[in-house]
C-alpha cells in the first residue's frame, strides 16, 4: 500500500513540474510583444534525497534564453533608436506552442499513471470489503 502511495507521490510531482512548465510557457506567450523580453526556459531534474534517487521530478532554476532579440522597425515607437529600430522579444510562438503541447501530453500521461495507481489500491481495498 505504501508503495502505491509512493507512486501517486511521484506522479503528482510530475503533474506539478509539467504545470509549472506550462505556466512559464504562458508567461512567454503573454509577453511576446513586450520590448526587451527574454524568453524564460526551465529544465527538469530528478529529486535526490539523502543521496538516493527518489524518482520524483522537479523543475530546475529559470534561465533566460540568450539568443538575440528581434529588431523591430517602428520609428514612431518611444523606444526606437536613431535608425527607427527597437528591441522586441525573442519569443518564438511556434516553439512555445510546441512546448505547451508537450507539457500537456506529459501531464496527461502522469495523470493516467496516477489514476491507475488509485484503481490498483482500490482493488486491494476491495479485498477487505466483503
Partner 1 sequence: MYEMPEIVRIAKDAVQHATARQAEIAKNVANADTPGYRARDVQPFEDHLQGTGAMRAKTTRDGHLPGLDPQERFFVTVDQNAEPAPNGNSVSIETEILKSSEVSQSHGLAVAVYKTSLDLMRTALGRSR
Residues at the interface with partner 1 (CB under 8 A): 2-4, 6-7, 10-11, 13-14, 17-18, 21, 43-46, 55-57, 102, 105-106, 109-110, 112-114, 116-117, 119-120, 123-124, 126-127
Length of the chain (residues): 130
The CA dihedral of 88, 90, 94, 100, to the nearest 10 degrees, is -120
Nearest residue (CB) to partner 1, 56 versus 91: 56
Nearest residue (CB) to partner 1, 72 versus 111: 111
Nearest residue (CB) to partner 1, 55 versus 75: 55
Going by C-alpha positions, the residue among 39, 38, 40, 35 that lies closest to residue 88 is: 35
The CA distance from 37 to 87, in Å, is 9
Amino acid at each position: 500500500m505504501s508503495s502505491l502511495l509512493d507512486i501517486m507521490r511521484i506522479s503528482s510531482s510530475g503533474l506539478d513540474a509539467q504545470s509549472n512548465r506550462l505556466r512559464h510557457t504562458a508567461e512567454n506567450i503573454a509577453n511576446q510583444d513586450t520590448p526587451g523580453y527574454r524568453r524564460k526556459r526551465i529544465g527538469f531534474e530528478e529529486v535526490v534525497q539523502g543521496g538516493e534517487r527518489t524518482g520524483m521530478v522537479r523543475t530546475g532554476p529559470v534561465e533566460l534564453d540568450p539568443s538575440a532579440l528581434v529588431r523591430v522597425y517602428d520609428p514612431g515607437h518611444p523606444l526606437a533608436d536613431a535608425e527607427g529600430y527597437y528591441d522586441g522579444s525573442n519569443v518564438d510562438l511556434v516553439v512555445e506552442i510546441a512546448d505547451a503541447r508537450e507539457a500537456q501530453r506529459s501531464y496527461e500521461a502522469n495523470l493516467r499513471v496516477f489514476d491507475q495507481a488509485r484503481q490498483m489500491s482500490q482493488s486491494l481495498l476491495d479485498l477487505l470489503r466483503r
